[in-house]
Amino acid sequence: MLAGLTGAIGGGKSTALAAFAACNAEICDADRMCHELYGEAAVVARLMDHWGELCLTAGAIDRQKIARIVFQNQQELDFLTGVLYPELEKKMAAIRAKAALPGSPVVVAEIPLLFECGWEKYCDVTVALWTGTALRHQRLIGRGMTLEEVARREAKQWSEDRKLEAADHGLINYGSRQDLEMQCKKLMDIWKDHLK
């Protein structure tokens, strides 16, 4: 079984992913896969051809510089997704194939733009994390983001209400970490019973 986990920026997706891992799920992180692509020669070459030195710091791809470019310009964002998403989609198809093998563990993939990209087609079930705007913004400001940066990123994503409505399951992350871990454990129990 492959479960796609999504939610809004600052919603606690990484915490939920760790909770699923603690319940013996195999986990993968689309953001991490994306970051790894920035180290692949073919991707670097395309970004350099397009942005040149603007996307570099000390000779290496600087994701923060790219973020500042793409979250202010839709055409630039379209270019970046055109480079990265086909490569990510290949990786998702491979994860899906592995998860479908008999006897494989439940795989939980954290995919921030799950529905926006249409990648729910790879998943047997989808899970959306809901936290609430005020708490998410408080967390993101604590990480050094400005409300303007947050708003630019949120404008490119579905709202957490819409994600929750589209998902098969919802996780409410408005309480303690233990509350979230308990919800994840209950979902894992449901999925394991289903697979018996």
Give the pLDDT of residue 119.
Answer: 92
CB proximity list for 116: less than 8 A, separation 6 or greater: 156, 157, 158
The type of residue at 70 is V
Chain segment 92-128, per-residue pLDDT in tens:
899 999 898 988 889 999 999 999 999 999 999 999 9
Residue 35 and residue 61: Cα distance in Å, rounded?
10
Q: What is the CATH number of domain 1-26+111-186?
A: 3.40.50.300
Question: pTM for this structure?
Answer: 0.88
Chain segment 165-190, per-residue pLDDT in tens:
999 999 999 889 999 999 999 999 99
Give the pLDDT of residue 60.
Answer: 87
Shortest CA distance to 175 belongs to which of 127, 111, 132, 128? 132
Max CA pair span of the chain? 54
* Domain assignments of the chain as residue spans, ordered by start: 1-26+111-186, 35-98
Beta-carbon count within 10 A of 195 CB: 12
Residue 103 and residue 171: Cα distance in Å, rounded?
26
* Strands 26-29 and 2-7, bridge-based pairing: unpaired
141-145's contacts with Cβ under 8 Å and 24+ in sequence apart are 143/10
Residue 65 and residue 72: Cα distance in Å, rounded?
11
Residue 155 and residue 54: Cα distance in Å, rounded?
24
Confidence of residue 28 (pLDDT cuts 50, 70, 90): very high
